[in-house]
């Protein structure tokens, strides 16, 4: 961790003494690293300029001992985080205890000891080379673990986008067919005194389920009579935005599934249309009527 030159910023001069008594947010208690002269801070306000943030952190933590360096970066991985490197462990311990949850720029800081030694202390202790090798090994390990997860997330996003595009095309085709059907019905009614085939005079034709407009709620039909609600939850919650499954008391074979918005429901609808629940039941999934 190289030293970083501090730039001018508006200092914070109010000592955050007894902050932990004012805040209801507890500090980290699980998997807490051993004491260390360096502190790791997260939940920092990402909208604050980096030089201003560093100056503010140095002003606050400098009240507890000599601060050798403030390390913070603007890249996505490190945004909203920082390291405060003290001269000694006692100062870091006192600062952690008293500054925990202090609201810096509207966000309570979450503080714990850093998991590893800083470059500054490694150089001072005379084991920097070994320290550097270990740090590079951890960095490589993280990169190797991160890349597959990133690829998987990108693949999922592409699949969802493709499903939404297929749904959009299907809806356009369905709307076109519906318009053609309505035109044909209007022509038939005009030729036969306003009466549609199989309907009473003046009756308004109901839009088929397949042509219904988007809705955040899906309507499920042709379900097995003995299907458990938990089975439907397991099936539909694998798609983003899932909220709940609602069955209809006294009516078997149907259910409703709600998502956060119609885009999420459309993706689930496209993915699970005609899903074979069991050998005798192919599930019908449409948007619910508004």
Query: Residue 81: which of 102, 62, 54 has the closest Cα?
Result: 54
Assess if residue 282 is contained within a domain.
Answer: yes
Q: How far apart are CA 239 and CA 262, in angstroms?
A: 13
Q: Is the pTM of this model over 0.85?
A: no
Domain membership flag for residue 136: no
Least confident of 47-61, 73-87, 204-218, 252-266: 204-218
Does pLDDT of 235 surpass 90?
yes
Query: Which three-class secondary structure state does DSSP give residue 287?
Result: strand
Strand partners, 112: 40
Band the pLDDT of 68: cuts 50, 70, 90. very high
- Point out the domain boundary residue: 115, 135, 152: 115
17 has pLDDT over 90: no
Asked if residues 287 and 269 have their Cβ atoms less than 8 Å apart, the reply is yes
HSE-CB at 281 with a 13 A cutoff on CA atoms is: 15
Chain centroid, CA 12 distance in Å = 33
The answer as to whether 163 is a domain residue is no
Band (76; pLDDT cuts 50, 70, 90): confident
pLDDT value at residue 204: 46
What string of DSSP letters covers 97-110?
Answer: HHHTT-EETTEE-E
Average pLDDT over residues 194-202: 52
Whole-number Å distance between alpha carbons of 257 and 246: 6
Measured between alpha carbons, how far is 225 from 278 in angstroms, rounded to an integer? 11
Q: How many domains does the chain have?
A: 2
**pLDDT the model gives residue 93:** 95
Residue 33 lies in a domain: no
- pLDDT of 84 reads 96
Is residue 149 pLDDT above 60, yes or no?
yes
Block residue for tokens 């993280």: 142
| Domain extent at residue 76 | 38-115
Q: Domain ends where: 95, 115, 135?
A: 115
Q: If 0-12 CB within 10 Å is exposed, 13-18 middle and 19+ buried, where does residue 111 land?
A: buried
Domain presence at residue 75: yes
Banded pLDDT at 65 (limits 50, 70, 90): very high
116 vs 29: CA distance, rounded Å: 18
The verdict on residue 68 lying in a domain is yes
The predicted structure's pLDDT at residue 15: 45
| Strand ranges inside the chain, DSSP E | 38-42, 67-71, 82-86, 103-104, 107-108, 110-113, 217-221, 242-248, 251-259, 276-278, 281-282, 284-287
In a domain, 48, yes or no: yes
Which of 115, 133, 168 delimits the end of a domain?
Answer: 115
Name which residue leads in pLDDT, 19 or 139. Answer: 139
Given a cut of 50, whether residue 267 has pLDDT beyond it is: yes
**Which of 169, 176, 35, 170 lies closest to 94 in space, CA to CA?**
35
Q: Is 237 domain-assigned?
A: yes
CATH code of the domain containing 275: 3.30.70.330
């Amino acid at each position: 961790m190289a030293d970083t030159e501090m730039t001018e910023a508006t200092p914070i001069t109010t000592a955050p003494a007894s902050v932990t008594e004012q805040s209801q947010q507890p500090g980290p208690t699980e998997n807490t690293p051993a004491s260390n002269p360096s502190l790791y801070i997260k939940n920092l306000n990402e909208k604050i300029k980096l030089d201003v943030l560093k100056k503010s952190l140095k002003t606050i933590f400098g009240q507890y001992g000599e601060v050798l360096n403030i390390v913070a970066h603007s890249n996505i991985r490190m945004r909203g985080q920082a390291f405060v490197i003290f001269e000694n462990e006692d100062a870091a311990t006192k600062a952690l205890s008293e500054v925990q949850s202090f609201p810096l720029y509207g966000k309570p800081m979450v503080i714990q000891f850093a998991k590893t030694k800083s470059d500054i202390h490694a150089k001072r202790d005379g084991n920097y080379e070994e320290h550097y090798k270990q740090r590079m090994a951890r960095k490589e390990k993280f990169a190797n673990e991160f890349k597959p997860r990133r690829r998987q997330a990108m693949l999922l996003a592409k699949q969802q986008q493709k499903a939404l595009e297929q749904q959009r095309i299907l809806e356009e085709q369905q709307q076109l067919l519906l318009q053609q059907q309505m035109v044909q019905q209007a022509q038939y009614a005009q030729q036969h005194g306003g009466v549609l085939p199989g309907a009473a005079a003046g009756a308004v034709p109901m839009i088929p389920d397949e042509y219904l407009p988007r809705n955040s709620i899906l309507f499920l039909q042709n379900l097995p009579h003995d299907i458990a609600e938990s089975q439907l939850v397991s099936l539909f919650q694998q798609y983003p935005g899932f909220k709940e499954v609602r069955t209809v008391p006294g009516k078997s074979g149907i259910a409703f599934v709600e998502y956060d918005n119609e885009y999420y429901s459309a993706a689930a609808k496209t993915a699970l249309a005609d899903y074979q629940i069991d050998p005798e039941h192919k599930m019908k999934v449409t948007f619910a009527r508004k």
